[in-house]
Amino acid sequence: MLTGKQKSYLRSLAQTIKPIFQIGKEGLTEAVFASVDDYLLKNELMKVSLLDTCPMEKEEVVTLFSEHGNEVVQVIGKTIVLYHANKKLKEGIRLPR
């Protein structure tokens, strides 16, 4: 669980990145989860955007990402910022305490 200070730090890092994945008419599939997990293993922080054609509600997508073991840092409009710590990375994100 992230503290408010940690979420604030991650939000500041996320300002400069663009959404990596778009969730469209297929919704959240196992392939999307696998791709997101793979990306987060290497980068720890990412943005996902929901397209207008996505059949799922934003809250439902956020809940599924949380249940899948990812920290939802922020939701702005149809953009979701996700974080997943990877202690094996040498140059990983160092969170404030």
94 within domain boundaries: no
pLDDT tier, 90 (very low <50, low <70, confident <90, very high otherwise):
confident
pLDDT in tens, 67-81: 999 999 999 999 999
What is the number of structural domains in the chain? 1
SS3 83: strand
The token pair that represents 12 in the structure block:
């500041």
51 within domain boundaries: yes
The whole-number pLDDT of residue 87 equals 86
Query: Which range marks the domain in which residue 50 is found?
Result: 4-83
31 within domain boundaries: yes
The whole-number pLDDT of residue 40 equals 94
12 within domain boundaries: yes
pLDDT in tens, 11-61: 999 999 999 999 999 999 999 999 999 999 999 999 999 999 999 999 999
41 within domain boundaries: yes
Q: Give the separation between CA 63 and CA 61, rounded to whole angstroms.
A: 5
* CB distance 93 to 2 below 8 Å: no
**CB-CB neighbours of 60 under 10 Å:** 13
The whole-number pLDDT of residue 1 equals 82
The CATH number covering residue 66 comes to: 3.30.110.60
The whole-number pLDDT of residue 6 equals 93
70 within domain boundaries: yes
Cα angle 20, 55, 19 (rounded to 5 degrees) comes to: 10
93 within domain boundaries: no
88 within domain boundaries: no
pTM of the model: 0.92
